Amino acid sequence: MKADEVLIAHHDVLRGLLRDLVETTEAQADRREELRDRFLREIEIHAQIEDELFYPAVPDVSPLLALAHAEHRQIDDQVATVMRMDVTDPEFRTEVRMLEQTVRHHTMEEEQRMFPQSHALGEERLDELGEQLRARQRELTASGGMRLMIRLKRATLRLTKA
Ligand SMILES: [Fe+2]
Ligand SMILES: [Fe+2]
């Protein structure tokens, strides 16, 4: 798979998790918790593989980079808000919807503006980069360090409830 295809497939996972989360009700607390935790894990992994491997490889990426990083930070803030909330909070769905909009906007922007720029790398390099992204994604998914980091982050966000 080419680098942009790997990332688009992961965008689909992220958007799918948020869509499923929006569709849950207050009565499905366990499902909400599960989807929210899965989303946190996937978005952390996604931002990390983009920052480490993809963004640095894209030619002429610098004009788009500041925006991409600002959007990652905005997503981080909104994720923090959603993580701090009780899943039975009546405002939960509204917050998830706002997060979904930001994620949709950011991923579409990447797909429409940044990913086409990566095509200048040529087929071979895109395939190679795609393999690197997939390998790192698998590694982070399996990694005890990543799991620990996410557990800590989740615990910290819940302790610092406003
Ligand atoms: Fe991104
Ligand atoms: Fe992305």
DSSP string, 88-144: T-TTHHHHHHHHHHHHHHHHHHIIIIIHHHHGGG-HHHHHHHHHHHHHHHHHHHH-H
How far apart are alpha carbons 2 and 119 in whole angstroms?
Answer: 9
Compute the distance from residue 49 Cα to the ligand 2 centre, in Å.
9
Compute the distance from residue 110 Cα to the ligand 2 centre, in Å.
6
Residues 32 and 87: beta-carbon distance below 8 Å:
yes
For Cα atoms 17, 21, 26, give the angle at the middle one, nearest 5 degrees: 160
Task: Tell me the pLDDT tens digit for each residue of 127-136.
Answer: 999 999 999 9
Compute the distance from residue 125 Cα to the ligand 2 centre, in Å.
19
Task: Tell me the pLDDT tens digit for each residue of 30-84.
Answer: 999 999 999 999 999 999 999 999 999 998 888 889 999 999 999 999 999 999 9
- Shortest-distance ligand to the CA of residue 3: 2
pLDDT at 143: 86
CA 162 remoteness from chain centre = 24
DSSP class of 13: H
- Shortest-distance ligand to the CA of residue 72: 1
Residue 162: strand, helix, or coil:
coil
Residues 24 and 119: beta-carbon distance below 8 Å:
no
Compute the distance from residue 106 Cα to the ligand 1 centre, in Å.
6
Query: For the chain, what percent of residues have pLDDT higher than 70?
Result: 99
For the chain, what is the domain count? Answer: 1
Compute the distance from residue 108 Cα to the ligand 1 centre, in Å.
10
What is the span of the domain harbouring residue 65?
3-159
Compute the distance from residue 20 Cα to the ligand 2 centre, in Å.
19
| pLDDT for residue 162 is more than 60 | no
- Shortest-distance ligand to the CA of residue 69: 1
In the chain, the largest separation of any two C-alpha atoms, in whole Å, equals 50
- Shortest-distance ligand to the CA of residue 111: 2
Compute the distance from residue 45 Cα to the ligand 1 centre, in Å.
11
How far apart are alpha carbons 85 and 83 in whole angstroms?
Answer: 6
> Which residues have C-beta within 8 Å of that of residue 117, sequence separation ≥ 6?
58, 59, 60, 61, 64
- Shortest-distance ligand to the CA of residue 11: 2
Compute the distance from residue 19 Cα to the ligand 1 centre, in Å.
18
